[in-house]
Amino acid sequence: MPNKNDELLKRLLVTFRGEADEHLQAMSSGLLALEKTPAGAEAASIIETVFRDAHSLKGAARAVNLASIESLCQSLESVFAVLKKEQFPVSVPLLDLLHQTIDGLGTLLASGADTSTTLPPAIAALMRQLDQAASGSPPALGAAAAPVTQIPAPAMEAAAATPPPPAATGAAAGTVRISTAKLDAVMRQVEELLSPRLAARQRALELHDTTAMVAAWKKTRAQIQPALRQIERSAARSASVNASAHRRKELMKVLGYLDGEHLFIASIEERLAKLGKSAARDQRVLAGMTESLLADVKEMQLLPFASLLEILPHLARELAREQGKEVELALEGSEIELDRRMLEELKDPLIHLLRNAIDHGIETPAVRTAAGKPSQGTITLAVSQRDSGKVELQVADDGAGIDGERVKAAARKLGLLSDEEDGRLGERETLALAFQSGVTTSPIITDVSGRGLGLAIVREKVERLGGSVSLESKRGAGTAFHIVLPLSLATFRGVLVRAGERLCVIPSAAVERVARVAVQDIRTVENRETIVLDGDVVSLASLGDVLEMPRPAAGNAAGHAPVIVLDQNEARVAFRVDEILGEQEILVKNLGPQLARVRSVAGASMLGSGQVVPVLNVADLLKSAVGRAAAPLAAAAATEPAAGEKRSILVAEDSITSRSLLKGILESAGHAVTTAVDGMDAFTTLKTAAFDLVVSDVDMPRMDGFDLTAKVRADKQLAELPVVLVTALESREHRERGIDVGANAYIVKSSFDQSNLLEIIRRLI
């Protein structure tokens, strides 16, 4: 039978660990503040606070018989007692020794200090240096204590496995400590209430629809009432002539039932109306209660961002000192609260970004001074609240910035970037390559960075949380990372859409807008379907094609197509869907280990009707859409021209080789082709004969393709004639000009193949 005192000690050890963590964090933050303000009234206040924390930790360690921690705290107290009396100044070597002591206490706590009086050698060395400092011999510059290694002990390990006590009441703050596992379990149960709430709403809607059906039935029944009366009168007149008494009796019974049926219908209608009102009222009450309960439990999960930020200043200090750099970490918005689970997941990404900023971004003092900068670099971590339930984190430094050419060189070396793509990349697209796994601009791999994995991990973690990360940098001026995250992890708003016969949910946080576009306004630019929204050209993809769903046998004859525009991590794509059904709150369920990573699917959710629908992964959707060629608008568009049917096409091209190639391709596809040597010749030909479509080069003498297209659109007789521009000009300005003048498609020769051209022509004519 276990000793009751042993069980009590185990529970006390678990409580002690939580209290000790708080004291160590407070002392570490105090030392960092003391480093910035080593003298004066503010310094005295900091010393007093850390002194008190060391004293409290010593007393708590004594209560659970942890002699090593108690002894080290005693020596630490002695130093702060001398500092409090201002017997010697705060120096960098002394601060280094104090930081090493805090690290030693943390190692003892994590490893599990035992109750023996024998001190580990590393702890004994620290205590000797602390005692020397307290006696008036502060450590000299360059002196360092031996690192504190892991000290195994079963006592704390056993305590770590012991469940915490049900509640430990804080004496001053009136708070209750509770296991995070229990809190998470309650949170999951409360979030599960979303499903019955949605189901209750669905039942209320179904009752409302049923009531409407009964009302329509009643109306129809009333319309046949005169006919029933006529039948009844006819039966009465014929009864004495040729109808048997039995037949008349049976007929009158049917008529009597039909005559009284309206009373029965009215009774059902009344009951359904009452049930509908009750169901709607219950649904409203349930919704209000669950929303209030969920909000309260979410509030319990919230912690100030400062609880995560507290570990970063010490880390920044140590990394900077190791590399001989001077760094100040500025924190803004630390009072903003986030879900505790979100904070835990953000720890690694922020550490990666901080390491990158110190290792790659901030220069050495000599380099900064030579560049006219302050010798001390600044890293700013700012947290701010955004609209629509989002929070933004910005990690910025005033260092050297990112060399885009080195990023592209690293991407080319890994085969992630071709020479052709290299020439087309803008600054934003170039910087986005830094998030690819293996891409690094560091000339050497160190224990801190240089492997090209940090930013890839950051992006993966952020996307897993339903957020997005972007990067901006200026050579010589610094780099800034922007992370946008939802405030909640499990529940969020989602847009319900239909692609083919499948319903899907897209997280609202990534939805920029929904719209309906006219089919005739869909253009092809660089062999991809595009639409123009608010003056910007946006790539268009079919959601069904991206999800590799079967394409309908017949095309959609509607003149307008619903689209949903997604925007994340500098990627912006419009997805064509068959129907947009609305927005609602969604509870995401993971797919289990068997389906842990299904492309384009982040999880699943259950609608109020009980139907399970996939929740789509926006990052995967955008990657898939960018990587695949544009699909035709309808399956029927891919068919060849009907037998005996020839389309007349005018080809304008000044190069005889290109002209002959285009002519051969089009004639092989069954089209009648006429050629022109430049834009002027083509426009003259258009005035003398009828054509179904024009294929034109852009760079031609006398009149180029842009001017030809503009003249075609300005001519009343030719204004609706489709124009396809085929060109080697790949710049964004030329693409936008092609759209501005009214071209229906813009094909770049470097990525041109005859199947693309023929597909576009088939769609246009």
* pLDDT greater than 50 at residue 450: no
Q: What is the pLDDT of residue 511?
A: 86
Q: pLDDT > 70: what percent of the chain?
A: 78
Question: How does residue 636 score in pLDDT terms, banded at 50, 70 and 90?
Answer: very low
Cα 175 to Cα 167: distance, rounded to the nearest angstrom:
10
Question: What average pLDDT does range 427-448 have in this prediction?
Answer: 64
- On the question of pLDDT at 697 being above 80, the answer is yes
What would the pLDDT profile of 292-347 be if each residue is shown by its tens digit?
Answer: 787 777 777 778 887 777 678 877 887 888 788 888 888 888 888 887 878 888 88
DSSP SS3 for 658? helix
Residue 634 scores a pLDDT above 50: no
Place 23 in a pLDDT band, splitting at 50, 70 and 90. confident
Q: What is the mean pLDDT of residues 196-208?
A: 80
Q: With a cut of 50, say whether residue 402 has pLDDT above it.
A: yes
pLDDT at residue number 165: 41
* Whether pLDDT at 115 is above 70: no
Query: What residues contact residue 740 under an 8 Å CB cut-off, 6+ apart?
Result: none
| Residue 652 three-state SS | strand
Mean pLDDT, residues 422-429 taken together: 72
Average pLDDT over residues 2-30: 73
Number of neighbouring beta carbons within 10 Å of residue 182: 12
Q: Return the higher-pLDDT residue of 732 and 611.
A: 611
The answer, yes or no, to whether residue 678 has pLDDT greater than 50, is yes
Does residue 459 register a pLDDT over 50? yes
Instruction: Name the residue among 511, 523, 508, 614 with its Cα closest to residue 564.
Output: 511
For residue 531, give the H/E element and its range. strand 528-533
pLDDT reading at 650 higher than 90: yes
Please tell me whether residue 304 adopts helix, strand or coil conformation: strand
- Segment 175-198 shows an average pLDDT of 74
State yes or no: pLDDT of 160 exceeds 50.
no
Residue 709 reports pLDDT greater than 60: yes
* Higher-scoring residue by pLDDT: 425, 615: 615
310 half-sphere exposure, CB direction, 13 A CA radius? 18
For position 635, what pLDDT does the model report? 36
**What confidence score (pLDDT) does residue 171 get?**
39
- With 80 as the cut, is the pLDDT of residue 545 above it? yes
Confidence (pLDDT) at 648:
93
Alpha helix ranges (H) inside 64-153: 67-84, 92-111, 121-134
* Residue 724 · residue 696 · CB < 8 Å: yes
Alpha helix stretches (DSSP H) within 112-164: 121-134, 154-161
The per-residue pLDDT for 145 is: 47
Contact between residue 75 and residue 134 where contact means Cβ atoms under 8 Å apart: yes
Q: Is the Cα dihedral 426, 427, 428, 429 positive or negative?
A: positive
> How many other CB atoms are found less than 10 A from the CB of residue 595?
11
So what's the pLDDT on residue 738?
80
Q: Confidence band (pLDDT; 50, 70, 90) for 692?
A: very high
CA angle 55, 61, 66 (to 5 degrees): 140
pLDDT at residue 148, rounded to an integer = 47
465 vs 648, higher pLDDT: 648
> Which pLDDT does position 597 carry in this prediction?
63
Quote the pLDDT of residue 444: 42
Mean pLDDT, rounded, of the chain: 77
Q: What is the mean pLDDT of residues 16-20?
A: 79
User: With bands split at pLDDT 50, 70 and 90, how would you rate the model's confidence at 731?
Assistant: low
User: pLDDT value at position 585?
Assistant: 77
Q: Which residue has the tokens 């704390």?
A: 156
* Residue 347 to residue 39: CA distance in whole angstroms: 33
Rounded distance between C-alpha atoms, residue 268 and residue 334, angstroms: 60
Q: Please state which of the ranges 6-15, 58-67, 562-571, 732-741 shows the lowest mean pLDDT.
A: 6-15
In terms of average pLDDT, the best of 172-186, 191-205, 246-260, 341-355 is 341-355
What gap in Å lies between CA 325 and CA 359, rounded to an integer?
9
- The predicted pLDDT at position 631 comes to 39
Q: Are 123 and 68 in contact (CB under 8 A)?
A: yes
Question: Greater confidence, 447 or 513?
Answer: 513
Checking if the pLDDT of 586 tops 50, the result is: yes
Q: Which of 438-447, 691-700, 753-762 has the lowest mean pLDDT?
A: 438-447
CB atoms within 10 A of CB 733: 8
pLDDT band of 169, cuts 50, 70, 90: very low
Quick one: average pLDDT of 589-595?
A: 67
The stretch 68-87 carries a mean pLDDT of: 83
Strand 511-518 vs strand 502-507: parallel, antiparallel, or unpaired?
Answer: unpaired
What mean pLDDT comes out for the span 674-686?
92
Least Cα distance to 748 among 678, 693, 697 occurs for 697
Which carries the bigger pLDDT value, residue 734 or residue 208?
A: 208
Mean pLDDT calculated for residue range 433-457:
60
Q: Does position 691 have pLDDT exceeding 90, yes or no?
A: yes
Band of the pLDDT at 754, cuts 50, 70, 90?
Answer: low
DSSP assignment of 554-616: S----SEEEEEEEEETTEEEEEE-SEEEEEEEEE-B---GGGTT-TTEEEEEE-TTS-EEEEE
